[in-house]
Structure 1
Amino acid sequence: MSYLVLARKYRPRNFTEMVGQEHVVQALTNALTQQRLHHAYLFTGTRGVGKTTVSRILAKSLNCQGPDGQGGITATPCGVCQACGDIDAGRFVDYTELDAASNRGVDEVQGLLEQAVYKPVQGRFKVFMIDEVHMLTNTAFNAMLKTLEEPPEYLKFVLATTDPQKVPVTVLSRCLQFNLRPMAPETVLEHLTRVLATESVPAEAGALRLLARAARGSMRDALSLTDQAIAFGGGQLQEAAVRQMLGSADRGHVLRLIDALARGDGKSVVETSETLRLNGLSAAATLEDMAMVLQRMAVCQAVPGMAVGEQDPEAVETARLAALMPADETQLLYSLCLHGRGELGLAPDEYAALTMVLLRLLAFKPGVFPGSVAEKKTLKPAPEAPAAVPEAAPVAPEPAPAASQAAVPVRDLEQAPAVLLPAAASVQAVEQAPVAAEDRPPQHPRALVPAAGWVAMPVRDQGEPSARTEARRETVGGTPAGGSLVPTDEGDFWHELVQQLIAQEAIAALVRELALQSQLVARDADHWLLRVERESLNQATARERLQGALTGAGHAVRLAVEIGPVHDSPARRNAAAAAERQRQAEALIHGDPFVQAMLRDFGAKIVPGSIKPL
């Protein structure tokens, strides 16, 4: 006698044998008991959750004749009458199953509907079951719409699909829809235990737990994996053999990885990942198991009084890890595990990708990697450190300006704070133009004394604005606040020159941005000094190209750039001019007599932001 696989041998034959779909069973049982029968049913759900099984049980309930042949519509088919036996054997003439995946055209559907005009031969109802109905073509759907809406009283439609989104709404509206849910691992575990007890197959609880999780909510997959595990284990189910068959990582490896990540032990993480590689265990399954453990840890951290689950042998270890790892790191690691599964296929080696996913958390842990992000965020002087500027600090003698570099002293600490950089950092020397002695502002009597490990880089101050500058400031309406325009003596010249270079297309991209965002601080016959606020603009290539553009415009000078506050730049002048044009345009519109009449007589309103200067 040929062997019958467990998925077919233990297919439920009545509603009482179904597991995990109580909501569907209850609705259908009540409908059959009260005989409130719909003419079309739609069962949706993932593979292996019982769509076809429910269809066959429903067909038996509608056509059951009872053991004595006198039965009627019932929610508990007898299973022994001719109708029940023929439906179970697949030879009942009034029950037709159509696989829409291979019969998806209009001709196949029309051939099925041609049988609808004939009354049942043996049973009480004709039942047309169309599996994977979403695979039908639009023409086939249209062909069955009329019959599906108003079928004969003896005809019932049962549709099943794994993708209800592809079913037209015109079909959905004609059906009574039931969604069969994926089964919980605990439900699958209980059913596997009963099946193996009936089959007299010895099985370890850990092996069944692995099979229940690997089924991913499908009872058919669980029974098929059980068949495979019985063959692999030689007639018995052992956890080690099942884990080897599935390629799953030992839960000990998973707990060891999480423990090492909680302690910041990168060496243990790499060694455990290498062990997984040597044993040929699945990297994706490892991340999946880690996500499951982390989910239980997050529950323990959010609800300390809630038990992880006494049936889980790792409950004590999970609770210990939950207390060891902070809640925010648990959430971060859970997210990394979920997203890391999608990265495994992108990497040339999935185990290298697994190691990178695990080490990614350590990169965010403070003090684990030197120079990590978390460590860089703390690179600032402590609040309780002594004052950086003592009252009587001697002023270092000013060095003589070199041929290609000159140090510009600090005018006032409050107006020009020094830029602090780590002493170990490599600081690129910025070429600066020498400043005449009579043009230098007086030095402050106190110099900045940097803290240990820091180097003070002075930033030149613009100096007090002249009377001409004050008058021009009143004209433009700027204030000394950051981001506003404070006109300077060199601003007119520099703005006109930059606009000329842009019009001639002599500068572009980063060079143009450097010119627009810079302020001309000082200039003489051979040297010009610019100031920018952003270090990213101060690049050697951009300085050289801007200096070449100035030479082409008739200004053969050596250009130097410093970092500091900017109050007068071509970009700010352009913005101030645009704002003034906008103000004039708005004043023109608001002062127009016609506009005033519209506002007064008709209650019109000017849409904010709709006024644009031409």
Structure 2
Amino acid sequence: MSHVVLARKYRPRSFEQMVGQEHVVQALGNALATGRLHHAYLFTGTRGIGKTTVSRILAKSLNCTGPDGSGGVTAQPCGQCQACTEIDADRYIDYIELDAASNRSIDEIRDLIERAAYKPSVGRFKVFMIDEAHQLTKDAFNALLKTLEEPPDYLKFVLATTDPEKMLPTVLSRCLQFNLRPMAPEVVHGHLQAVLEAEGVPSDAGALRLLSRAARGSMRDALSLTDQAIAYGGGRLDESGVRVMLGSVDRRHAAQLVEALAARDGAAMLATVDALRQHGLSAAGTLEEMAALLQQMAIEQAVPGALDDNDPDTAAARALAATLPADETQLLYSIVVHGRVELSLLSDDYAALTMVLLRLLAFPPSGPAPAPMPGRAVPLQAAPREARLSTTPKPLPAAPARPQPKVAAPPPAIVARPPAPAAASVEAAAEPPPWVDEPLPDDAADAGPAESRNTAPTPTPAAAPTALRTTALGDRWAAALRPLIADGAITALVRELALQAELVGLDTVDAVATWRLRVERETLRTPALRDKLQAALQAALGSALQLQLESGIAEDSIARRDAAAREAAQREAEHMIRDDPAVRALMAQFRTARIVPGTIKPLPPLAG
């Protein structure tokens, strides 16, 4: 018997066997169990995450007759009847798969529409599956629209695409859309471990960890890489062999680079890059491994103890987290992530890698400036962090020249003198603070009346904020959700959905209230978040209700109300400070006095 690759041998044949797509499995399972079937489905997501697999399982569920031939539509296809076995073998006459990458013209779609006019030959439903549907031509899409909108009762459409943005909005509106998510490395790791145990292939945890990360969320890619690794390792998987096969960079090299950059040790950094070149390790892989390490460091700095203790990379990340300030960790992560694009701009990847890493050394470190070394130029004193984020200060205007008595003088001699020690620092210290954005008044202004000199400068009024238009439905939504938020009944993304949503309609059908919410962010408009928020509201109100999410800009949300309240408090605090008699007196007495923007913060209301 010929060898069957792992990706085909272990392709799920039922919803229970699928991993990492629980939100899709639950929705389709409930629809099949209750008979609420849509006529067209659209599965979106990256390659190798189960779009075609879900389509085949759905086709089996619609046509399964059970082992005894008396079954009906079910969420658990038997896998033994004619429909199940022939769909698995890709030879069921009433299940048609069309690859739009190579059959994208209007002629193929017309042929499909003609076949749709005939009832199923052996099954209960005809299922047309169009893969990579975004590659259909515009004419092909238009020819499909009418049939897609009102197909016969016996016909179901399934569309799959990796790029839904390229599909016509008129097609998207006619389909029930499910977004299949890339799988977490932990999910891929667990599935690979189960597959290798079933195959009897020995492996170690390090090899599985490398394969899980290299798959980038695609289970098919993970199984294909595992097949390759088994062949490379002669029937076993070990970390060293998989690392060589993938060209992955050891985490120790990334740790050495981060440690050298944290210590501002350019020589050590260059030596590590040179070692990478000598061993032929990937420059892009180095930056990717550094990004993963920096992400773990940032998590440890923000939430100490949150990293997985079972991960062998956790110890190094925790040790390095103490060597870099949190803001520099974020800066280095941004440099590393964006630096991957620059590698392709030079023929020498390692030269580009060196320039990317040197970028962090161009930023002055926090703390006091290092003492100058003998025989070297004295560097400028590092400015405070607030100053480095400000705009460049304007120089002081030159004082007007005063008349001098005309006396005879010898011609000036040109004398070269060495600069005084720390002259650059003294000159920099003489500059005005970085928050001064306007020239200081000149000496001529001192000749004016004392009244004009003692008048505090009039601040420039800030632009008026956009007025928030509240609604009665918005009041009801805020009254219902604020207690849940305050009590911690909803957290994380469910809480974010409640804050960002706007209640735009209330309907009651059969004594069940339907609340229509408008949500702008697509990542919040998911069935899972909606169901959790719906359950929390039902428990709080003690009555049944349903939430419906629609796309659009929320104009009266809790988040916008809170933002408007913060803006009002900020304006009131700034107004109080600028109109305070003591502040005005100080600004009138000292002509260089300024109120530093961003330093005025409103006090929180007193409790009780």
After TM superposition, the score normalised by the length of structure 2 is 0.63
Residue 332 of structure 2: aligned partner: 333
In 2, the alpha carbon distance for the partners of 1:224 and 1:32 equals 32
Cα deviation, residue 481, structure 1: 2.9
The one-letter code matched in structure 2 to 1:82 is: Q
Paired residue secondary structure (1:43): strand
The one-letter code matched in structure 1 to 2:441 is: A
**1:280 and 2:280 matched:** yes
Deviation per CA, 1:473-494: give whole Å up to 9, x if none: xxxxxx99349999xxxxxxxx
Asked if the contact 1:67–1:78 (Cα under 8 Å) also holds between the matched residues in 2, the reply is yes
The one-letter code matched in structure 2 to 1:376 is: L
Cα deviation, residue 356, structure 1: 1.8
- Taking a change above 3 Å as real, the CA distance of residues 221 and 481 of structure 1, as seen in their structure-2 partners, is same
- Taking a change above 3 Å as real, the CA distance of residues 278 and 452 of structure 1, as seen in their structure-2 partners, is closer
The one-letter code matched in structure 1 to 2:197 is: A
In 2, the alpha carbon distance for the partners of 1:400 and 1:454 equals 32
Asked if the contact 1:423–1:455 (Cα under 8 Å) also holds between the matched residues in 2, the reply is no
Cα deviation, residue 316, structure 1: 1.6
In 2, the alpha carbon distance for the partners of 1:483 and 1:65 equals 97
In 2, the alpha carbon distance for the partners of 1:124 and 1:240 equals 52
Cα deviation, residue 58, structure 1: 0.1
Deviation per CA, 1:503-524: give whole Å up to 9, x if none: xxxxxxxxxxxxxxxxxxxxxx
Deviation per CA, 1:309-339: give whole Å up to 9, x if none: 1121021221111012111211111011011
Residue 380 of structure 2: aligned partner: 376
- Taking a change above 3 Å as real, the CA distance of residues 399 and 13 of structure 1, as seen in their structure-2 partners, is farther
**1:93 and 2:89 matched:** no
Residue 158 of structure 1: aligned partner: 158
Cα deviation, residue 274, structure 1: 1.0
- Within a 5 Å distance, the mapping from 1:378-457 to structure 2 comes to 378=382, 400-402=409-411, 453=423
Residue 531 of structure 1: aligned partner: none
The one-letter code matched in structure 1 to 2:329 is: T
Asked if the contact 2:283–2:353 (Cα under 8 Å) also holds between the matched residues in 1, the reply is yes
Cα deviation, residue 362, structure 1: 2.0
- Taking a change above 3 Å as real, the CA distance of residues 129 and 185 of structure 1, as seen in their structure-2 partners, is same
Which of the residues 425, 441, 455 maps onto 1:481? 441
Residue 597 of structure 1: aligned partner: none
The one-letter code matched in structure 1 to 2:380 is: K
The one-letter code matched in structure 1 to 2:303 is: V
Cα deviation, residue 370, structure 1: 7.6
- Taking a change above 3 Å as real, the CA distance of residues 152 and 360 of structure 1, as seen in their structure-2 partners, is same
- Taking a change above 3 Å as real, the CA distance of residues 62 and 453 of structure 1, as seen in their structure-2 partners, is closer
Cα deviation, residue 83, structure 1: 0.6
Residue 30 of structure 2: aligned partner: 30
Cα deviation, residue 272, structure 1: 1.2
In 2, the alpha carbon distance for the partners of 1:373 and 1:85 equals 80
The one-letter code matched in structure 2 to 1:164 is: P
In 1, the alpha carbon distance for the partners of 2:50 and 2:299 equals 31
Deviation per CA, 1:453-492: give whole Å up to 9, x if none: 57999xxxxxxxxxxxxxxxxxxxxx99349999xxxxxx
Unaligned runs of 5+ in 1: 381-397, 408-421, 426-449, 458-478, 487-614
Asked if the contact 2:380–2:425 (Cα under 8 Å) also holds between the matched residues in 1, the reply is no
- Which 4+ stretches in 1 moved above 6 angstroms? 368-374, 454-457, 483-486
Deviation per CA, 1:4-58: give whole Å up to 9, x if none: 1101110000000000000000000000000110000000000001000000000
- Taking a change above 3 Å as real, the CA distance of residues 139 and 454 of structure 1, as seen in their structure-2 partners, is closer
Residue 517 of structure 1: aligned partner: none
Paired residue secondary structure (2:74): coil
In 2, the alpha carbon distance for the partners of 1:152 and 1:276 equals 62
Unaligned runs of 5+ in 2: 385-406, 428-438, 447-608
In 1, the alpha carbon distance for the partners of 2:378 and 2:166 equals 48
Residue 127 of structure 2: aligned partner: 127
Asked if the contact 2:49–2:181 (Cα under 8 Å) also holds between the matched residues in 1, the reply is yes
Asked if the contact 2:301–2:326 (Cα under 8 Å) also holds between the matched residues in 1, the reply is yes
Cα deviation, residue 214, structure 1: 0.5
**1:62 and 2:62 matched:** yes
- Taking a change above 3 Å as real, the CA distance of residues 265 and 84 of structure 1, as seen in their structure-2 partners, is same
Asked if the contact 2:254–2:290 (Cα under 8 Å) also holds between the matched residues in 1, the reply is yes
In 2, the alpha carbon distance for the partners of 1:180 and 1:484 equals 71
The one-letter code matched in structure 2 to 1:140 is: A
The one-letter code matched in structure 1 to 2:50 is: G
Q: What fraction of aligned residue pairs are identical, expressed as a percent?
A: 64
Q: Look at both structures and tell me which one has the larger radius of gyration over its CA atoms.
A: 1
Deviation per CA, 1:105-141: give whole Å up to 9, x if none: 1010000110111110010000000001110111101
**1:2 and 2:14 matched:** no
Paired residue secondary structure (1:29): helix
Paired residue secondary structure (1:123): coil
The one-letter code matched in structure 2 to 1:334 is: Y
Paired residue secondary structure (2:157): strand
Deviation per CA, 1:326-377: give whole Å up to 9, x if none: 1121111101101110111112210111122122212324468989999424
In 1, the alpha carbon distance for the partners of 2:30 and 2:210 equals 36
In 2, the alpha carbon distance for the partners of 1:41 and 1:206 equals 39
Asked if the contact 1:264–1:365 (Cα under 8 Å) also holds between the matched residues in 2, the reply is no
Residue 352 of structure 1: aligned partner: 351
Asked if the contact 2:110–2:143 (Cα under 8 Å) also holds between the matched residues in 1, the reply is yes
In 1, the alpha carbon distance for the partners of 2:266 and 2:279 equals 20
Asked if the contact 1:284–1:344 (Cα under 8 Å) also holds between the matched residues in 2, the reply is yes
Asked if the contact 1:189–1:212 (Cα under 8 Å) also holds between the matched residues in 2, the reply is yes
The one-letter code matched in structure 1 to 2:165 is: Q
Cα deviation, residue 401, structure 1: 3.7
- Taking a change above 3 Å as real, the CA distance of residues 379 and 209 of structure 1, as seen in their structure-2 partners, is closer
Residue 321 of structure 1: aligned partner: 320
Cα deviation, residue 307, structure 1: 2.7
- Taking a change above 3 Å as real, the CA distance of residues 165 and 373 of structure 1, as seen in their structure-2 partners, is farther
The one-letter code matched in structure 2 to 1:289 is: E
Deviation per CA, 1:180-235: give whole Å up to 9, x if none: 00000000000000000000101110111001001101001000111111111111
The one-letter code matched in structure 2 to 1:134 is: H
In 2, the alpha carbon distance for the partners of 1:334 and 1:3 equals 44
Residue 308 of structure 1: aligned partner: 307
Cα deviation, residue 2, structure 1: 1.3
In 1, the alpha carbon distance for the partners of 2:42 and 2:124 equals 21
Residue 233 of structure 1: aligned partner: 233
Cα deviation, residue 252, structure 1: 1.2
In 2, the alpha carbon distance for the partners of 1:374 and 1:296 equals 37
In 1, the alpha carbon distance for the partners of 2:424 and 2:77 equals 87
How many residue pairs end up in the alignment?
Answer: 409
Asked if the contact 2:364–2:382 (Cα under 8 Å) also holds between the matched residues in 1, the reply is no
Cα deviation, residue 257, structure 1: 1.4
After TM superposition, the score normalised by the length of structure 1 is 0.63
Asked if the contact 1:423–1:453 (Cα under 8 Å) also holds between the matched residues in 2, the reply is no
